[in-house]
Amino acid sequence: MQKKSIKDANIKGKRVLMRVDFNVPLDKELKITDDNRIRAALPTIRYIIGQGAKLILMSHLGRPKGEVRLEFSLTPAAKCLSELLGKPVEMLKDCIGQEIRQAVLAMDDGDVGMLENLRFHREEEKNDPEFAKELASLGEIFVNDAFGTCHRAHASTEGVTHYLEAVSGFLVEKEIEYFQKVLTQPEEPFILLLGGAKVEDKIPVIENMIEKANAILIGGAMAYTFMRVLGVNIGSSRLEEEMSGMVKNILGKAKTKGMGIVLPIDHLVTDNIQTAANVKVTKGEAIEEGWMGVDIGPKTISLFSEKIKSARTVVWNGPVGIFENDKFAAGTKALAEIIAHSPVTSVIGGGDTAAAVAKFGLIKEMSHISTGGGASLEYLEGKVLPGIASLRDKDEGRRMKVEG
């Protein structure tokens, strides 16, 4: 179902309550070290202001666990946003209460206010109805532009939608568009590229996408458990023994369906991941005892690259090596460049994958880079995301019922 977006709503002169994801990293001096999440919300924010609405922003920051703690205040985010917009952003002292309501009601058209950290109240993560109702009372319409929190049924993402008309911002609208396309109508050949450390995180994705993808390429630390299940020596590489049964099941399903799961055929290995003094490329897929895989090797880069070049759609979630260390980044960089420079629709999962693409300066070359790591994984798993399900549908003008 298509969801209503901000452009489908009449917001002129209204109080717009908007959920953003300003959970930005701060240094010891409480200065923002990466403002990309704030910049990502600017198109929606500017549109709302341009429509003459009063904008009330809300977000969480960190894990204060229901306590008011200065190091988790959203004041740095409000200051950053003010500088980016070139206009004042009023930082409010809380997110609920009579004083906050009076401040909001006193706003003029085009004003922007920032509520204090939602997670200073335990009721936020509990999706407490009364807390959600208080939040909702601040606005006349709700806009969700925080995809990174859409997989959580919290008061500010799902609860408020029971009291206000709920629509998506431009950021969430774009996420829905791309993920729905790859899940329902991907252009084929469709390649799923998976990496990262943990098999457990990706098994539900593989189970859902095995019906849709033409091939699944697996690199990163998670590949070693697959290889070990197939009887390949992985040396001292990461092994999730407890996932062996599920991996066997996945491999069996893939074989039955005639869908190829492609694993590394060589590796970059080291005998000490901290010093990386000794590094070499294996001759084949096996890894000697005392050595551990830290990246895919050149033969695997070529193999994966050829698969990607033949594709029309590529979904990538998880780096294929420890890309944070330049010595172990060649595989992830090479595949990022191939995807960027191939005529494919590319959907990049959030988190480490997005960080890798940013590191290699390829953000603008990708079709879509998700702003939510956990949310993008759950979307690919086929799960209903409460923060999206609770938005109004274009054709029915009502919310989908979210169970549980």
Contact (Cβ atoms closer than 8 angstroms) between residue 247 and residue 199: yes
374 a catalytic residue: yes
Give yes or no: 196 in active site: no
Q: Which residue has the tokens 């990496």?
A: 195
Identify the active-site residue in 46, 133, 181, 198: 198
Say which residues have a Cβ less than 8 Å from residue 157's Cβ, sequence separation at least 6.
Answer: 19, 144, 146, 149, 150, 386, 387, 390
Backbone phi, then psi, for 368, in 5-degree steps?
-155, 130
Map residue 345 onto helix, strand or coil.
Answer: strand
Which 8-state DSSP code applies to residue 340? H
Catalytic residue flag (residue 152)? no
Marked catalytic residue, from 14, 19, 37, 174: 37
Cβ-based neighbours of 249, under 8 Å, separated by 6 or more: none
Burial state string for 64-95 with b = 16 or more CB within 10 A and e = fewer than 16:
beeeeeeebbbebbbebbbebeeeebebbeeb
198 labelled catalytic: yes
Tell me how far apart the alpha carbons of residues 175 and 369 are, in angstroms, rounded to a whole number: 9
Catalytic residue (choose from 309, 374, 382, 383): 374
Catalytic residues: 37, 198, 351, 374
